[in-house]
Amino acid sequence: MENLNGAFKWFYDGGNWLFKLMYLHLLWVVFTLAGLIVLGLFPATAGVFSVIRKWVDRDYDISIYQTFMETYKSSFLKINGIGYIMVFIGLFLQFDYLISKQLVGSLFIHIILLIFILLYFLTLFYLFPLFVHVELKPLQYIKQSLFLMLASPLHSFAITLSIIVIYYLFVFLPVVLIMLGVPLVAYPMMHLFHHAFNRVQQKKSA
């Protein structure tokens, strides 16, 4: 295929990347279900981000399956622990929000809770990219994700915008969700995280 050029090369490369994303999404579905969803969701998502991290680092010739499975197996307990800590925090914030809305009736408390909920979701956007990027203790991933999010407001906005755009793409073209789903969401998140992380590291070493 080295002799291809122009539009033919573009179509070949595009088709190759489409296949890789579809295959990666299929792995996510299969191994999420293999873990009965409850135990498979977080390790499978970490597996997707580990593959995409390699791509963002321009390591395009990796074995997708091997890279995915290495992360899925090695991170199984750790990422499930972190993931369900975040689920608990999310449920706690949701409960407080409902109590504030229905019983307290304080606009100030309501706004404060909404700000915390926003920070919670923005922190989530950094959690999986950070998890596959560095080795930390479980609670440090949450702390450092929050720090990175606060230190990179433009990147946080760009990640949020990319997710909104992809969400509407899924709404109007559900087949894209079925075929490409998680990798399509993860790729811009990983790319923007990579840029934000390097920027923060450069500031620390300056």
Q: What pLDDT is attached to residue 82? A: 96
With beta carbons less than 8 A apart as the criterion, state whether 95 and 104 touch: no
Q: What pLDDT is attached to residue 9? A: 67
Distance CA 48, CA 74 (A): 14
Among 8-12, 21-25, 53-57, 107-111, the range scoring the smallest mean pLDDT is 8-12
Higher pLDDT, 30 or 16: 30
Has residue 3 got a pLDDT over 60? no
Q: What pLDDT is attached to residue 24? A: 97
pLDDT digits (tens, 9 = 90+) for 161-203: 999 999 999 999 999 999 999 999 999 999 999 999 999 888 8
Has residue 111 got a pLDDT over 70? yes
Cα→Cα distances 6→13, 15, 16, Å: 11, 14, 16
Has residue 4 got a pLDDT over 80? no
Residue 152: band (very low, low, confident or very high) from pLDDT cuts 50, 70, 90: very high
Distance CA 131, CA 143 (A): 12
Q: What pLDDT is attached to residue 56? A: 94
Q: What pLDDT is attached to residue 12? A: 74
pLDDT digits (tens, 9 = 90+) for 78-102: 999 999 999 999 999 999 888 877 7
Has residue 2 got a pLDDT over 60? no
Mean local confidence (pLDDT), 7-12: 72
Distance CA 182, CA 144 (A): 23
